[in-house]
Amino acid sequence: MDRFSLDGQIAMVTGAASGLGKAAAEVLAEAGATVVLADIDESGLAAVAETISAAGGRAEPLTLDVSDRPAIRQATEDVAARYGRLDIVIASAGITAGPSYRTEAGQIGAIADSAWDKVVGINLSGVFATVQGAAGPMKNQGSGRIVVIASVAGLKSDPMVGYAYAATKAALVNLVRQAAMELAPHGVLINAVAPGPFRTNIAGGRLQNPDVEAAFSGMVPLGRIAEPDEIKGLLLLLSSPASSFMTGTTIPIDGGMSAR
């Protein structure tokens, strides 16, 4: 079990105030890491930090908008300088892209530039800046783990999501491949996970609507959507010494959706 220990390591998680980012922060803290929690939701961050502290973990909230690329790069540098190292970064911050093409508002001709740009700014450019910021200190120290939250919608067409969401998540898959080639000689490993439907607050928590849940569940061979805690094992694997020969890959965690 020492292969999964993160004792003494310093981690940073974006989108940590809720959903999969919260799950990531919790499992890293449970495994012994000190976790910097980054999110735009200040009250949500405080709640997550309190939960982790109450369980005996170490967490530091950091209010941050990942669409502000200079700010996210500076934040990673500051964390590395303050703690003397940066071992793990999980890029989880992301937003939905609005309705799918099944609705008139989600069809390609109806998508406003402002809506497209907002999703790209957070889901792609924000993640790029997070990876960019983490790469510097990790290359200098000769080690590190970066995990990007992509989506099963980035691996295949998905009639339930909007164009910008699908496009940005697909781009993350190749961003991870590209970065892996550069970072591997420096001992820095980067991988992505591709979740299927999880019960989170994305899209205003629409997966908690029974009709929407039934629609998504019908697409999943396991016949249900997942709880955030179900991603913890995979994120711990990719953040820990147990994944020492894994880089440049994207691993679905989707109840079998991508197998269809």
Residues identified as active-site: 165
The first and second tokens of residue 54, run together, are: 């109450």
Contacts of 191 (CB under 8 A, 6+ apart): 146, 147, 148, 176, 180, 238, 243, 246, 247, 248, 249, 250, 251
- Phi, psi dihedrals of residue 48, rounded to the nearest 5°: -65, -45
CA dihedral 180, 144, 63, 71 (to 10 degrees): -60
CA distance 31 to 4: 7
CA distance 217 to 224: 4
Which residues, in sequence order, are bridge partners of residue 194?
Answer: 252
Instruction: Please name which of 69, 74, 17 lies closest in space to residue 40, comparing C-alpha atoms.
Output: 17
The first and second tokens of residue 202, run together, are: 């994305």
CA dihedral 102, 215, 196, 206 (to 10 degrees): 80
CA distance 106 to 74: 35
CA distance 80 to 117: 30
